[in-house]
Amino acid sequence: MTKVEPSKVVKVAPDVVSVRLRKPIRPGELRFKDTDQPAKNNVARFPLVSRVLHARATQFLLILPNQIIFWMVIFLGFLGVVDPQVNFATAITWYLWFCLVFVMMAVIGRAWCSMCPFGGFAEWIQRRTFFKRTQKALGLGLKLPESWAQWGFLLSVGTFLLLTFIEEFFNIAGPGTPHYTSLMVLGIVVTAVTFFLVFERRTFCRYICPLSALIGSVGSMGTVAGFRTNDREVCQACTTKDCMRGGSSGYGCPWYTWPGSAETNSACGLCTECYKGCPSGNVGLYVQKPLTSIIAPHRRRADLAWSVALLWGLVFFQQVNATTQYAALDNYLNRVTGWPNYPNPIDYMGLILAITFITVGIIELYRRAFMVKEMGITQPGSFIEKVTPFRQVFLPMSYAMIPVVGMDYFARQLPKFFQHVPALIPAIVEIFGVNAKNWSLVHYQLLSVQGIINVQDGVMGIGMLASVFAMAKIFDREIAPLVRNRAAAKMTAIGLMVGLAVLSGWLYVIMQAAN
């Protein structure tokens, strides 16, 4: 493997990462790359945490409960009661699980990935074991073609758009017929197993999983930074790179993330393999302040930025399509094209792309209005790469949008939670043959429609404040040196974040807490 030097670029698995020493490290204060996290933020320094992370069964035990639940979802969707209101498969999936996933994203990061039953089941088959270290994997072990890998998170966004269209078309999350939920979950499992048997490591999870881009972007708000190098000099001097290649104690990182260069949590699946495999004990599990992975990165990813823009287009579309005005447009297109029912693919993709490029266009107008300088390659050791003038503004502003977009997705799930989650109790009871269809909990609502709207707008307010804070920090670090009239440019950038949140909050009022 190529020797890693400061200010150089080394290819470690299909992704390219830059490695640089920012400043000398004082003895007793180890910090990882660029985000300047002190050693006290390494929770693996506690003996109990260290033992848990070193145990090979740790991730298996995290995955197992979800594995049991989701196989119950598959079987009970087919064999359980027909009423989706009290069917366990629909109740737990659409009333509770989706909300919990978004909470984990915003608070922790890729917590769901560490316990995901879909990737976990496929990985057990690929490795031919539940948790032991085996030397030979089952399957072809192919690498994802570079022409695919270069799209990064955009592949995941594509599968998310497709899955969302299928879900909307069959009204799966309505919730509709329970067996549709089972078919959807089973389809994800079969797809995951297929990719695990054809490609190496967690190629499916990193590039194809419908939730990967969403979790990777929204999870940047989280407080878990992921597994990072403790002492970068030790990491650079390492000749085995067991954290990436794998060794006797652990597999090489299934997510293609080298802890020696990682500076955000967007691609760390928290699988613990690099921690187990490092022969020098030079990897730690770090926590960070909220929004750090949004504000701090010095090398921003274009695929993540475009993913945020497209994800914003999708959630905005979902809000608009819940209004009565939208129904007329969709019905008209269905009549003209002969499409059987909602959503029509023309306005589905058309509106998503239109909203995405309108947002991107506004950012470009901002750049043209305020930008006067173009930053190129700086002195050796600098973190800034040469980028186009458009990217110099689009990338940081897209990152600043993440809290608004993430909270918008979370707010979108709240009506089902507050209106239907009590039905989960009778749905569980129904598993044991008890007729609970007439229980009051089936139709009990935790909040009124107005109460739900208030909570949704409150959630959007939190997203707005977080995006305003992130935008202010990012502006001072990255955009201020490039613009004229810094005060006006800063207020306008912040105003764009406020505008996105206010627009979404207003739509929730118009929607009247529509599911």
- Residue by residue, DSSP assigns 288-334 as --TTHHHHS-SS--HHHHHHHHHHHHHHHHHHHTTSHHHHHHHHHHH
What pLDDT is attached to residue 55?
95
Instruction: Please say whether the dihedral angle defined by the alpha carbons of residues 117, 427, 457 and 306, taken in this order, is positive or negative.
Output: positive
**DSSP strand pairing (16-19 vs 8-11):** antiparallel
Q: Which of 24-33, 49-58, 427-436 has the lowest mean pLDDT?
A: 24-33
Q: At what angle do helices 486-511 and 302-320 cross, to 10 degrees?
A: 40
Kind plus residue range of the DSSP H or E element containing 17? strand 16-19
SS3 assignment, position 9: strand
What number is the average pLDDT over the span 338-351? 92
Higher pLDDT, 313 or 260: 313
What pLDDT is attached to residue 87?
94
Q: Which of 73-77, 180-184, 385-389, 450-454 has the lowest mean pLDDT?
A: 385-389
Which amino acid is located at 369 in the chain? Answer: A
> What does the pLDDT look like over 398-415, one tens digit per residue?
999 999 999 999 999 999
Q: What is the DSSP string of 195-246?
A: HHHHBSTTHIIIII-TTHHHHHHHGGGSSEEEEEES-HHHHHH-SS-HHHHB
With a cut of 60, say whether residue 364 has pLDDT above it: yes
Confidence of residue 37 (pLDDT cuts 50, 70, 90): low
**Contact, 298 vs 272, CB < 8 A?**
no
What pLDDT is attached to residue 21?
29
Q: Which of 185-189, 361-365, 381-385 has the lowest mean pLDDT?
A: 381-385
Q: At what angle do helices 486-511 and 449-474 cross, to 10 degrees?
A: 160
Q: In DSSP terms, which residues pair with 11 in a beta bridge?
A: 16
Helices and strands (H and E) in the chain: how many = 22, 4
**Contact, 416 vs 515, CB < 8 A?**
yes
Length of the chain equals: 515
pLDDT-above-90 percentage for the chain: 73
CA pair distance 499, 502, nearest whole angstrom: 5
Structure tokens, 348: 């589905």
**Contact, 242 vs 83, CB < 8 A?**
no
What pLDDT is attached to residue 381?
38
Confidence of residue 373 (pLDDT cuts 50, 70, 90): low
Higher pLDDT, 164 or 329: 164
With a cut of 60, say whether residue 430 has pLDDT above it: yes
The mean pLDDT of the chain is: 88
* Residues 296-334: b if buried by 16+ CB within 10 A, e if exposed: bbbbbbbbbbbbbbbbbbbbbbbbbbbeeebeeebeebb
With a cut of 90, say whether residue 260 has pLDDT above it: no
What pLDDT is attached to residue 387?
59
Structure tokens, 497: 């974040």
The highest-confidence range among 49-53, 325-329, 437-441, by mean pLDDT, is: 49-53
Confidence of residue 18 (pLDDT cuts 50, 70, 90): very low
With a cut of 80, say whether residue 27 has pLDDT above it: no
What number is the average pLDDT over the span 277-284? 92
Q: What secondary structure letter does DSSP report for 266?
A: T
What number is the average pLDDT over the span 74-83? 93
What number is the average pLDDT over the span 166-175? 92
**DSSP strand pairing (224-229 vs 16-19):** unpaired
SS3 assignment, position 42: strand
What number is the average pLDDT over the span 322-329? 83
Domain boundaries, the chain: 53-218, 302-511
Q: In DSSP terms, which residues pair with 229 in a beta bridge?
A: 283
